[in-house]
Amino acid sequence: MLILVLIVFGMVVGGLASLLIGGGNFRTINWGQALIAGLLGSFIGGLLLSLVTGNGLNIGPSGLIGSFVGAVIVLLIWRPKPRVER
């Protein structure tokens, strides 16, 4: 059950990060990319921010915010940069 909750949470966080980065709507979200970005962002950002703020591994606001920020960073790194034509 915990794994299912983590997957759904990762997809929601990744979807919100995709909306912020892409500025589009729910139809333009690549849900596979959103899931991976959400899971990686939750693991990296959420864990690091929770440990830095002293919450440990407990679920708290710092971990949730860190998950979202981590997903945004993962998407910014992952998405290809637009080419400049000359």
Domains held by the chain: number:
1
> What number is the average pLDDT over the span 46-60?
69
What is the predicted pLDDT for the residue at 55? Answer: 63
Domain presence at residue 85? no
Task: State the average pLDDT for the chain.
Answer: 79
What is the predicted pLDDT for the residue at 81? Answer: 67
Domain presence at residue 72? yes
Domain presence at residue 68? yes
Report the b/e string of 9-35 with b at 16+ CB within 10 A.
bbbbbbbbbbeeeeeeeeeebeeebbb
Domain presence at residue 66? yes
Domain presence at residue 74? yes
Amino acid letter, 29? I
Structural domain harbouring 73: 43-52+62-78
Q: Against a cut of 0.85, is the pTM above it? A: no
Domain presence at residue 70? yes
Domain presence at residue 35? no
Domain presence at residue 11? no
* pLDDT, tens only, 9-26: 888 888 898 898 877 777
The CA dihedral of 81, 42, 48, 23, to the nearest 10 degrees, is: 40
